[in-house]
């Protein structure tokens, strides 16, 4: 393989056997043989059958960790969008680094899987919601599909209590706020979110939304509609912390406090 071919592949970061075949203008069988030699040389790192990461110079292959988003983008087949915490990161709203990559599939089965050493949590998204709930963003030289800021927030607020981190979600809401369309957010909440998720959303918006912003001035009345919940519901400030609850006014009751 010529240096020019290697440089072309290196720009992609994560490649399939078909990419090597196209770069060399050879059959896939010949490309697979070439990939095997490059793995032995330490130029490529095998992630799974037919999928490789291009190892930067002066880096040991066993120590190299390619961009997990690009690994999943190139390695996962079928329709999917990056979602939940991974989507928050792609929208520039991430509050902490997470090892697991989250994706959502239209009417797909929720499951966990791995590509190489990248753990993936696949979630289901209704097919009817797919067109309006996803968009495309750039990640390096690749274009990836990701849930919209509105859908990303709803997905995070709708996670099971054991996966909730209250302060993190508050931070993500603040970071996403410039990208949120209040009408789209509330419309999607009415159409796709369950009652508990709508109540949590109402609580968070009452707490964090930019009061005085004209674009949000009409949301107050609609929030009251969203905030109809018959009884208090757990909303933890950190995973596995059952001592924290949200009262029927959607205020958080912390351990040791009454309300």
**Is the same domain home to 224 and 196?**
yes
Task: Say whether both 227 and 186 belong to one domain.
Answer: yes
- Residue 96: pLDDT band (50, 70, 90) is confident
Residue 245 lies in a domain: yes
Same domain, 133 and 237: yes
Task: Flag whether 163 is in a domain.
Answer: yes
Claim to verify: residue 39 and residue 158 sit in the same structural domain: no
14 and 93 share a domain? Answer: no
2 pLDDT more than 80 = no
Q: Does the residue 258 lie in any domain?
A: no
Q: Which two tokens stand for residue 136?
A: 């495309």
The structural domain count of the chain equals 2
CATH code at 7? 1.10.10
Question: What's the pTM?
Answer: 0.82
Residue ending a domain, among 63, 90, 115, is 63
pLDDT digit string (tens) for 174-204? 899 899 998 899 889 888 888 778 877 877 7
Asked if residue 208 and residue 134 are part of one domain, the reply reads yes
Containing structural domain, residue 46: 3-63
For residues 210 and 142, membership in a common domain is answered with: yes
pLDDT tens digit sequence for 42-86: 889 999 999 999 888 888 888 889 999 999 999 999 999 999 999
Are 186 and 226 contacting, i.e. CB atoms less than 8 angstroms apart? yes
> Does 77 share its domain with 102?
yes
Residues 88 and 190: their CA atoms lie apart, in Å, by 21
Alpha helices in 177-218 (DSSP H): 182-192, 195-208
Q: Which of 45, 63, 81 is the last residue of a domain?
A: 63
- What's the rounded Cα separation, in Å, for the pair 104 and 198? 20
- 194 and 180 within one domain: yes
Strand ranges, E, within the chain:
14-16, 44-48, 51-54, 81-82, 101-106, 111-115, 118-125, 134-139, 142-147, 233-234, 245-246, 252-253
Same domain, 96 and 190: yes
- Please name the helix (run of DSSP H) or strand (run of DSSP E) that holds residue 86, with its range, or none: helix 84-90
Can you give the CATH number for the domain in which 146 is found? 3.30.460
Q: Which of 48, 63, 78 is the last residue of a domain?
A: 63
CA distance 245 to 259: 10
Same domain, 83 and 113: yes
């Amino acid at each position: 393989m010529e240096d020019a071919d290697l440089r072309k592949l290196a720009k992609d970061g994560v490649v399939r056997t078909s990419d090597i075949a196209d770069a060399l203008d050879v059959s896939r069988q010949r490309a697979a043989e070439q990939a095997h030699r490059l793995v032995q040389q330490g130029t490529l790192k095998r992630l799974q059958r037919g999928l490789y990461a291009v190892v930067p110079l002066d880096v040991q292959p066993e120590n190299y960790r390619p961009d997990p988003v690009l690994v999943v983008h190139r390695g996962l087949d079928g329709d999917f969008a990056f979602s939940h915490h991974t989507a928050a990161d792609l929208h520039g709203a991430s509050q902490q680094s997470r090892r697991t990559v989250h994706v959502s599939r239209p009417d797909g089965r929720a499951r966990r899987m791995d590509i190489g050493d990248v753990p993936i949590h696949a979630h289901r998204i209704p097919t009817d919601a797919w067109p309006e709930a996803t968009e495309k963003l750039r990640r390096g030289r690749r274009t990836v599909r990701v849930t919209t800021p509105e859908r990303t927030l709803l997905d995070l607020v709708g996670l099971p209590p054991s996966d909730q981190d209250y302060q993190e979600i508050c931070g993500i809401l603040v970071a996403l706020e410039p990208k949120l369309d209040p009408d789209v957010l509330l419309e999607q909440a009415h159409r796709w979110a369950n009652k508990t998720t709508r109540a949590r959303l109402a609580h968070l918006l009452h707490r964090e939304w930019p009061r005085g912003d004209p674009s949000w001035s009409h949301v107050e009345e609609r929030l009251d509609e969203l905030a109809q919940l018959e009884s208090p519901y757990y909303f933890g400030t950190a995973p596995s912390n059952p001592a924290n609850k949200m009262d029927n006014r959607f205020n958080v009751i912390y351990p040791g406090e009454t309300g």
